[in-house]
Structure 1
Amino acid sequence: GSSFAVEIARKIGLPAEIIQSAEDIVGKEYMNLDNYLLDITRDKRYWENKRTAIRQKEKKLEQMLAQYAEDADQLRSKRREIIEEARTEAKKILDSSNAIIERTIADIKEANAEREKTLEARRKLKEERIELEREGNRYKDSNLLLAKVPKKKKGKHNVQADRETSPAKREVTVGANVRLDGGSTVGTVLEVSGKNALVIFGNLKTTVKTDRLTVTDAKPKTETKSSISMQTIDSGYERQLQFKQEIDVRGMRADEAIQTVTYFIDDAIRFSVARVRILHGTGTGALRQAIRELLSTTSGISSYHDEDVRFGGAGITVVNLK
């Protein structure tokens, strides 16, 4: 090999004339061979560097491939987890939907039961109306029969005898309790106009001649359900038809919610509702606590508890009525 003496001498700064003299001494062929060897050495170094770089890149590629393979495994595992979670969530949604459907069916059945109760109540109301109309007709028939009875002519002797045997009739005045001649029902005089008087017998008002009325100390019978005005009865049944078994007091102040729940529970007891729901939310729990304190002191309530977690949990109180 060559020591590259001429090349080294040129790099370390020897005078050019000395280098030229040396090249002349060794000859042109030697210099060419030296140059060739230098070129070969440079090429060798270049390709060695290339090979080193390629090996580094190959190593990096292997590392990247290993990382990609690991990432792919993680992605596949994550995909399986996501699919499993999706299936679980879908099952929960399906179960919840089934529960909601069952709850809706139960509510529909309860609503149908309430509807049957309402129809029964209306049937009884109709029967009571018919009975009242019959009673009114009986009063009218009684008045007609009395009006057709001929009056007996009384002589002086008979009149004197009647005065001696019969007590004098008391005057018919407003507010007096009276009986219709030939009847046993006690009524109250509402108005007197000349020889006529407006009298109420039970739930029936009628105009009668005062001479056909006898003042009595007996009292009218206590008013019953059948004597309640038809308008009041209709209003009560209409309110029962519109009654909903759920109330929402979320966002109300405690005192306002307590008053609303009180009216709601009173109506539920009056309408014989078996179960109601109160939506109060969770929040700080103050509203829920206040409502439950009210329920614990209200008669007519058999129990109360949180709603099923699928339908609201602690945010809703279910109340069972006696």
Structure 2
Amino acid sequence: MNQKTLTKLEFDKITALLEENAGSFRGRQLCRRLKPMTDLEKINTYQEQTAAAYTRIVRKGRISFSDASPVEESMKRLEIGGSLSISELLRIAKLLSNTARAKAYGRHDTQEDSADCLDAFFDQLDPLPALSGEIERCIISEDEISDDASSTLKHIRRSMGAINDRIHSTLNGLVNGSLRTYLQDAIITMRGDRYCIPVKAEYRSSVQGLIHDQSSTGSTLFIEPMAVVKLNNDLKELYAKEQEEIQVILARLSADAAQYIEEIRTDYRTMTDLDFIFARGALALSMRGSRPVLNEEGRIHIREGRHPLLDQKKVVPITVSLGEDFTLLIVTGPNTGGKTVSLKTVGLFTLMGQAGLHIPAADRSELAVFHQVYADIGDEQSIEQSLSTFSSHMTNIVSFLKKVDEHSLVLFDELGAGTDPTEGAALATSILSYLHQRGIRAMATTHYSELKVYALSTPGVENACCEFDVESLRPTYRLLIGIPGKSNAFAISGKLGLPDYIIEDAKKRLSEQDISFEDLLTDLETSRRTIEKEREEIAAYRREAEELKKQAAQRQEKLDAQRDKIIREANEKAAAILRDAKEVADETIRNFHKFGKENISAAEMEKERERLRKKIKDTSAASSIQSAKQKKAYKPEDFKPGETVKILSMNLTGTVRSVPDSRGNVTVQMGILNSQVNISDLEIIDEAPAYAPQKLNRTSRGKIKMSKSLSVSPEINLLGRTVDEAIAELDKYLDDALLSHLNTVRIVHGKGTGALRKGIHEYLRRQKHVKSYHLAEFGEGDAGVTIAELG
């Protein structure tokens, strides 16, 4: 890929953003050196790696590779038997510790955490815990070796501590005793690595010892008393032994590391490769990118693409196609309307996709693999080379027209500008026609009406425009495929205050052909707006119909469950009533036998009979629940469409919608549901149905609009649910609430750990129909309840 195109399309800024997400030196190098590829298999491998890293970051969070410092120089020294320094050994230990963390990060802990292409990288990692543990045990920091690194070092340092104590004790006795009057200050100081005391110059002969230094004025001499000379000598000797032992320890640790040279190299290379891959995944996450579908047939279809270098909160997504129904796209419209941004978006997305990066666009966006991308964008004027804008542009175009082929993508910004409009338009048309005849994919921006006509009259060439709002004098930055753009010069001038008589005079100077063409563009624009508005309305009605269908299916499921429950409860009650009746009968027979054998008074017998009569009456009342009154016998002719009936088995009310068939089945509507019911399970009533069919309201435009008539509770209780269960239930509830025109709902989730509340808030934040949400006030549920406003 030529470097000039990479610079024109600002691919270097993308690699700079990528580099910011890498932690290791080599990882940043790989990011900086990333270039678009032309091998589709290799590109797909990179894309798969980026997608896997993206998924892992979303599930497990980021992982740092900053401790993967370069170790190759150290490995070469180990190969020739050299000994490593403290800092080199520490770098190896940090690399191995980071490797251990990465190894743990790469494990699949749950079933949802499925295998991916990065497993091969994580499997190569070997943390070498024994080596890293030994280095960390022996080396505390860059400047300190642990006493426990060896028994010899521990003994030397213990001896050094004892001699230090003796030196300080001896010097303290001299400073605070016999030599006190000879000293400048009662202190002990160091000169070189020898302990000294500050003696006044005039008392030099009174203090026996070695002079090591004097003050700048010469009034103070730093003398090592003879009493500590031998001790200082012993201490210096121990210092030397300590350094020798440290070198022995470092040599031993280096020998240990030398056994794992290849493993350490593999760990470093794999860790930095993973750093590069996860940098791509992190960039995709920050851009809200998606993996493009790549092909070698020259098809481009970008869905809602956002230029990655613009403010993502303000950039307007564009949808653009090229290479399937047409191979040449000509974009027209006023300045500052977004034509160049659209051109750069197509070019930069192509480069990013071929470099293995995700693009900030909607899923299922498609990109083609091109061997070269040529771009003529921006002001090419060169004062040093005495080239005008037109000459410099033409020089650039000539340079790549010699090289383009069917595997190239060519981008022109304001093709033919900078010279006589008539000649420029003719030249631009010829260049584009040459590319089109060769089947080369190209995209060009222009102001020339001649190119608009060329696109309208040439098969395989398509017009596009960047929409412009004349009323506000602002571009909308929306790219519209299939419609040529207007210059809007007269309209813009009039809005800016140019007198009408000047504008009218300018219109008279246009030829009839130009006026007709502008009128045609105006009609096309008006038709497009009308069609787009109607398409949006149709899509809205379709979504509403699908939602109502979904709600109907859910309610049918609820009704079926309710019917089963009612039947089950009725059977249980019937069984209980039979048991009670049997018990009454058994008790009656027992009493009959009892009264026949014993001498019972008539008053007692009457009392017992009254009790049994009452019990039989209660049992009969209970049985009336199953059939409140004797069902009237109906004929099929009695069930006419429009009759209000009661479905006995379900205890629901509905309306007959069809005459009985040969088996006695009729269609009964209960609310929004229609069900086949046999007439034996129906009873004709004169009451209003419990569920009314949904009303059909007609808007002022004559459009049919459905409204939900069933009431929905303004509160949903999600206590005890998992986050996934709660989201699924909340999703259905909000749909019902919207159809019921509820403005505010209460969502009860409780306080607990806060995980459920966090999950619900994350879900609400993504819903377009949720205007706002907040925790309830004190006394209304506090942090255990969220209030959501719908709109």
| Same fold at TM > 0.5 | no
- TM-score for both structures, normalised by structure 2: 0.17
Max radius of gyration: which structure?
A: 1
- Say which structure is richer in helix: 1
